[in-house]
Amino acid sequence: MTTEHTTAATRSTVYGYPRQGQNRELKKAVEGYWKGRVTADALRATAAGLRRDTWRQLSEAGIDEVPTGDFSYYDHVLDTSVMVGAVPDRHREAVAADPLDGYFAMARGTQDAAPLEMTKWFDTNYHYLVPELGPDTVFAANSAKQVAELDEAVALGLTARPVLVGPVTYLLLAKPAPGVAADFEPLTLLDRLLPVYAEVLADLRAAGAEWVQLDEPALVQDRTPADLDAVARAYTQLGGLADRPGLLVASYFDRLGDALPVLARTPIDGLALDFTDAAAANLDDLAAAGGLPGRRLVAGVVDGRNIWINDYEKSLATLTTLLGLAGRVDVATSCSLLHVPLDTAAEEEIDPEILRWLAFARQKTAEVATLARGLAEGTDAIAAEIAANRADLTSRADSPVTYDPAVQARADAVTDADGRRSQPYEVRAAAQRAHLGLPLLPTTTVGSFPQTDELRAARADLRTGRTDSAGYDERIRKEIAEVISYQERTGIDVLVHGEPERNDMVQYFAERLSGYLATRHGWVQSYGTRYVRPPVLAGDISRPEPMTVGWTTYAQSLTDRPVKGMLTGPVTMLAWSFVRDDQPLGDTARQVALALRDEVDDLESAGISVIQVDEPALRETLPLRAAGRPAYLAWATEAFRLSTSGVRPDTQIHTHMCYAEFGDIVQAIDDLDADVISLEAARSHMQVAHELADHGYPREAGPGVYDIHSPRVPSVRETASLLRTGLAAIPSERLWVNPDCGLKTRGWPETRASLENLVAAARTVRDELSAH
């Protein structure tokens, strides 16, 4: 394919870049500042150096227009709250005394002032700080950070485009401030917020910005007519300003849908759309809206949130189609590169044959620049790159790492019956009661016990060779023995081994499954200074040998009480990994489910009668638009059932999820057909128990009675009172007693005290029940 078309104006750009630096310098500097080891000036200098390195890197890669203002010490939504003056009252004094310390106080809280709530950024694993607004919120423009970072980039001689969270998305992400009525809608503040944005835009214009990008990812979710009216009002007003830069409104993560024609009718100057497979409908929607004649279209053809190389020929075909639909077409990543690691060059341990299939942030910027060149100068100008790209794609498609015929054949042979327990719940429940002999209101925990520094040090010693694996195993066995004996002494009914051998609940399994790759430096920001290294689900998945059976049976050998086996479920394995993009997610989930099914069956054969398959991510990967949800929930629940349905009726399957808002998926939770579910509930006063009851949930449930997110020890009285609340919704034969989540982040002293109180509370309420 040769494109004759030459569009000299085509530019390449990205919307944001990883902030941390190659060696997580930002994490070290920020945490050093918190501990008083790094001065504010040194922190600022480190940050400025990182921004400079990023811009240089982008410009050397051939990116024509670099983003500014996307950098953050903690979170860009928090930065937006500062930019519009939405500082909660409880933090005002701290911010006035010292803006930097006040900023971190909002992010992390202080002795007297709680932090802002944190929640997931759309369907990614990045967390933002939720703005708190109310009818009395007074906005005030503070463009200092945006202007300063633009100045820095301009001083390097670069063409720069400031990136802001757009006003509609900002308000849609906010929640009512403490004390404000729960039904307050922050979007009602739009008319008050727009003048602040107008002021920031004018400041950026004065500082030399030709263009400003306003990110409106909230518009890729289902929006009401009132929301769309707000969009029309916002951009009609901002577009009508006399003194302003060009306005580029950006969307990503899904199709823009109904908001596309609404935005196209406003006087904005450009639109950025996601054209990866997930949002392919944007192409038709754009054509249907009559395109953007005379205006700028930024085409996100390079996936900004996954780690596979681009398919150049496919992207060029899309770009060529788009040429007819806008005054000018620029090439970009689909979203900020915040969601991918920095550079594949650091991965010296990955086979070079596999490494060529992967593109991290640095490689993606080169892809964008190459595609822009191909679009501007014709495909002949990048013929060598296209040939190399085709060879890399072929290498991946043909590799035995990608494709294992035995795995595919097994997945193809799955029948509906494989995903159904052999007996209905009532029969299973009776068999389990007879087999396990548990008391009323059985007590258990969610899996992990405190991960002490000593355990982490033992793992580090194993990695560096200071301990051999025999020494490490010995250390883990000792920990398991202590955890078992502690639980027996405390009087817990269903024990766990405590998960001391797990670095992370996904990584542990990824390291033991064929088809998964681990990275050494593939850090991605999760929140603030916390970074994670998601494994790469690269090919067909199989389980070469048992992964947990040894530790679990060792724990069971130490006690007569049942020990619960502990696995991470298929949906969570996908949600916290980079997933393959060459087959439907449901197919990948099914392969992971079959591997886990083997583990579940082996645990049962080894004498384990209770097995928990955790799915804390079931809700977070729910598609952003309602239309996509039924299909997702169908494959997600099928995968869970496939992994758990191979067992006997008297083997009890548990699952666990940790969030309080699960109204949208209560039917899916029911469809998992787990015998017992534990859920987070302590903070919401057992609200989930009532939601389950309203739904008519027929099986056993343990709404958490101990909030493990805080070091606070709940008393026997308050725990018993939560249990009584639970009993009002769930009958005593079906109510379990457990904490909200695993205990790995807690210390031993508060864990001990809290679990002792939990057992005492269960006994108190059991006595009350038998007295009736």
Binding residues: 24-27, 120, 125, 499, 576, 614, 620, 656, 658, 671, 680, 741
Of the pair 341, 450, the CB lying nearest ligand GLN is at 450
DSSP 204-267: HHHTT-SEEEEE-GGGGS---HHHHHHHHHHHHHHHT-SS--EEEEE--SS--TTHHHHHHTSS
591's enclosing H/E stretch is helix 585-605
β-partners of residue 494 are: 444
Least distance in angstroms from the C-beta of 636 to ligand GLN: 16
Binding ligand GLN (rule: CB under 6 A), the pick from 70, 254, 330, 614 is 614
Among residues 742, 750, 751, 762, the one that binds ligand GLN under rule CB under 6 A: 742
Q: Which does 16 bind (CB under 5 to 8 A by kind): ligand GLN, Zn ion, none?
A: none
Using CB distances below 5 to 8 A depending on partner kind, what does residue 447 bind out of Zn ion, ligand GLN, none? ligand GLN
Other Cβ atoms closer than 10 A to 683: 13
Q: Pick the binder of Zn ion from 26, 441, 682, 741 (CB under 5 A).
A: 741
CB of 572 to ligand GLN, least distance (A): 8
For the bound state, the minimum distance from the C-beta of residue 679 to Zn ion, rounded and expressed in Å, comes to 9
Contact 13, 332 (CB under 8 A): yes
450 binds ligand GLN (CB under 6 A): no
To the nearest whole angstrom, how small is the minimum distance from the Cβ of residue 412 to ligand GLN?
Answer: 31
**Only segment of 66-74, 140-148, 398-406, 446-454 that touches ligand GLN (CB under 6 A):** 446-454
CA-based nearest residue to 551, from 595, 495, 491: 495
Residues in region 578-637 near Zn ion by CB under 5 A:
616
Choice from 505, 682, 701, 761 touching ligand GLN (CB under 6 A): 505
Task: For residue 69, count other CB atoms closer than 10 A to its CB.
Answer: 30
The entry of ligand GLN, Zn ion, none that residue 727 binds, CB within 5 to 8 Å by partner kind: none
| Closer CB to ligand GLN, 308 or 449, in the complex | 449
Angle at 631 between CA 628 and CA 632, to 5 degrees: 80
Q: Which strands make up the sheet holding 676-679, listed edge to edge? A: 564-568, 610-614, 652-657, 676-679, 700-703
Which residues are known binding-site members for L-methionine? 499, 614
Nearer to Zn ion, 296 or 619 (CB): 619
566 binds ligand GLN (CB under 6 A): yes
- In whole angstroms, what separates CA 771 from the centre of its chain? 47
Rounded Cα distance between 212 and 631, Å, is 37
Which of 69, 270, 419, 447 binds ligand GLN (CB under 6 A)? It is 447
Decide which of Zn ion, ligand GLN, none touches 393; Cβ closer than 5 to 8 Å per partner kind: none
Question: Is residue 312 within a helix (H) or strand (E), and if so which, with residue range?
Answer: helix 312-323
Piece of the chain touching Zn ion by CB under 5 A; list 193-201, 586-594, 653-661, 686-694: 653-661
Closest residue to Zn ion, based on beta-carbon distance: 658
Selected range binding Zn ion among 429-437, 574-582, 591-599, 650-658, rule: CB under 5 A: 650-658
The stretch among 153-161, 350-358, 380-388, 441-449 that binds ligand GLN (CB under 6 A) is 441-449
505 binds, among Zn ion, ligand GLN, none (CB under 5 to 8 A by kind): ligand GLN
- Could you list the beta-strand ranges (E) of 3-107: 12-13, 66-68
Identify what 608 binds: ligand GLN, Zn ion, none; CB under 5 to 8 Å per kind.
none
Min dist CB 599 to ligand GLN, Å, is 14
Cβ at position 622, least distance to Zn ion in Å: 17
Q: Which of 5, 435, 685, 709 is catalytic?
A: 709
Q: Is 570 in the site for ligand GLN (CB under 6 A)?
A: no
607: left (phi over 0), alpha (psi -120 to 50) or beta: left
Short-list 725, 728, 723, 717, CA closest to 739: 723
Any contact of residue 286 with Zn ion (CB under 5 A)?
no
Task: Kindly give the interhelix angle for 405-412 and 585-605, rounded to the nearest 10 degrees.
Answer: 90
Q: Which is nearer to ligand GLN, 203 or 499 (CB)?
A: 499
> What backbone phi and psi angles, to 5 degrees, belong to 304?
-85, -5
Decide which of ligand GLN, Zn ion, none touches 566; Cβ closer than 5 to 8 Å per partner kind. Answer: ligand GLN
Asked if 743 is part of the footprint of Zn ion (rule: CB under 5 A), the reply reads: no
**Burial call 487-498: b when 16+ CB within 10 Å, e when fewer:** beeeebbbbbbb
- The mark string for 743-772 relative to ligand GLN (x by CB under 6 A, - otherwise) is -x----------------------------
The alpha carbon of residue 343 and the mean position of all alpha carbons in its chain are separated, in whole angstroms, by 20
Interface with ligand GLN, residue 616, by CB under 6 A: yes
Scan for tokens 């072929």, then name that residue: 394
Q: Of the listed pieces 39-47, 226-234, 442-450, 534-542, which binds ligand GLN according to CB under 6 A?
A: 442-450
CA 602 to CA 706: how far, in whole Å? 32
Distance CA 595, CA 544 (A): 9
Residues 639-658, mask of contacts with ligand GLN (x by CB under 6 A)? -----------------x-x
- Given the rule CB under 6 A, which of 1-9, 12-20, 368-376, 739-747 is the region that contacts ligand GLN? 739-747
Task: Number of residues interacting with Zn ion: please give it, by CB under 5 A.
Answer: 3
Q: Which amino acid is at 762?
A: A
State the amino acid at position 47 in one-letter form: A
Residue 664 to residue 622: CA distance in whole angstroms: 9
Residue 162 interacting entry, from Zn ion, ligand GLN, none, C-beta within 5 to 8 Å by type? none
Q: Where does 378-495 have alpha helices with state H? A: 383-398, 405-412, 425-436, 453-464, 469-490
Tokens of 394: 């072929």
Amino acid at 208: G
Q: Which is nearer to ligand GLN, 170 or 509 (CB)?
A: 509
The token pair at 382 is 């990048």
Nearest-approach distance from CB 446 to Zn ion, in angstroms: 6
* C-beta of 13 vs 448, nearer to ligand GLN: 448
Report the site for ligand GLN in 484-503 (rule: CB under 6 A).
499
Cα distances (angstroms) measured from residue 716 to each of 565, 573, 681, 689: 28, 36, 17, 20
Annotated binding-site positions for Zn(2+): 656, 658, 671, 680, 741
Q: Which of 278, 303, 305 is nearest to 578 (CA)?
A: 305
Strands 160-165 and 211-215: parallel
Please answer whether residues 80 and 164 qualify as being in contact, where contact means their C-beta atoms are separated by less than 8 angstroms. Answer: yes
The item of Zn ion, ligand GLN, none sharing an interface with residue 227, based on CB under 5 to 8 Å by kind, is: none
Instruction: Give the binding range for ligand GLN (CB under 6 A) out of 310-318, 468-476, 659-667, 741-749.
Output: 741-749
Q: Determine if 448 is a binding residue for ligand GLN (CB under 6 A).
A: yes
C-alpha 251/C-alpha 297 separation (Å) is 12
Look at residue 299 and give its three-state secondary structure.
strand
Task: Tell whether the torsion through CA atoms of 339, 343, 344 and 346 is positive or negative.
Answer: negative
By C-beta, is 326 or 658 nearer to ligand GLN? Answer: 658
The token pair that represents 601 in the structure block:
């069956």
Using CB under 5 A as the binding rule, whether residue 658 contacts Zn ion is answered as yes
Residue 118's SS3 state is strand
For residue 99, give both structure tokens.
Answer: 């803006």
Other Cβ atoms within 10 Å of 4 Cβ, number? 7
Q: Six-digit token pair at 641?
A: 């059932």
Tell me, yes or no, if 709 is annotated catalytic: yes
> What is the 8-class DSSP label of residue 400?
T
For ligand GLN, the closer of residues 604 and 740 by Cβ is 740
**Interface pick for ligand GLN out of 47, 720, 741, 761 (rule CB under 6 A):** 741
Indicate the residue whose CB is closest to ligand GLN. 742
Residue 448 site contact among Zn ion, ligand GLN, none (CB < 5 to 8 Å, cut-off depends on kind): ligand GLN
Interacting residue ranges for ligand GLN, rule: CB under 6 A: 446-448, 499, 505, 566, 614, 616, 656, 658, 741-742, 744
Active site positions, annotated: 709
Which residues make up the interface to Zn ion (CB under 5 A)? 616, 658, 741
